[in-house]
Structure 1
């Protein structure tokens, strides 16, 4: 799977005052009518339970200059959630999930379906709100390293 190139995203959620965010490449468009996206999250990680319970998520598409932010949300540095979120400027749109103010695009979603499959759960989200940022070079991950496109 290391050869599968993917646009780097930070998927976020919030529930009862708790925030969670993780860097992912397993996300894509599903439909444009209604606008729908999906993200795949490891359900063996107990900390991801908040994504399955909250009913909302935001998919924040990263630009090349967000590489340090992606690294902070990758989990490799063992940062707390507060430390991760301190690396960017965040607000909220319609659902209340944290949204990155300068993302290339932010898809603020309500979960319409959860599909468990082996180690992951596929969250399908209908876009409740959309914010488009600048047309910067996209941050891509492939061959265990970052690239820009």
Structure 2
């Protein structure tokens, strides 16, 4: 194993600006997800591209959530959540959950169901990962939520809604081999 190289002093404490970072991140495409929690009248959800696989043993995802977000408290206290990955053409749903729409109204425009944890699963998502929260770590302005996947519902022949260069892009899977 090689030893870590020490950075010159002038680079060890400097960072790119927030604007430079955001501009660079706009070139990193991301799958658009609606992350949900709660049950009955206490549902909460938000749009996220900061979702990624951590491990397949045990199956684990991570979700990043800004601590200044209106839904932060609901997710800081939850024991379960669902990562609903959006299908091509679900731009409006992404905007609904990413905007200032009151929470109750966010859940009225689509069909929702539950699997194992009781957290809301979007019925027509490309794929939904039903999860138990195992850990939360605070990093800079965000909480990184680690969650173990306990159930999956996947749509056959789903596409994907991607976010790239500050715009939505649709990945159509209708021409996939059968």
TM-score by length of structure 2 reads 0.78
2: CA distance, partners of 1:42 / 1:51: 11
Greater length-normalized contact order (CA 8 Å, ≥ 6 residues apart): 1
Of residues 40, 43, 46, the one that matches 1:19 is 43
More strand by share: 1
Structure 1: give runs of 5+ residues left out of the alignment: none
Q: How much does 1:16 deviate?
A: 7.9
What secondary structure is seen at the aligned counterpart in 2 of 1:18?
coil
- 1:113 aligned onto 2:135: yes
Q: How much does 1:65 deviate?
A: 2.1
Stretches of 4+ aligned residues off by more than 6 angstroms:
none
Q: How much does 1:46 deviate?
A: 4.5
Give 1:55's aligned residue: 79
Of residues 75, 97, 107, the one that matches 2:119 is 97
Give the aligned CA root-mean-square deviation in angstroms: 1.4
Report 1:69-84 matches (<5 A). Answer: 69-75=93-99, 78-84=100-106
State how many pairs are aligned: 147
CA contact (8 A) 2:62 2:147 kept: yes
What secondary structure is seen at the aligned counterpart in 1 of 2:26?
coil
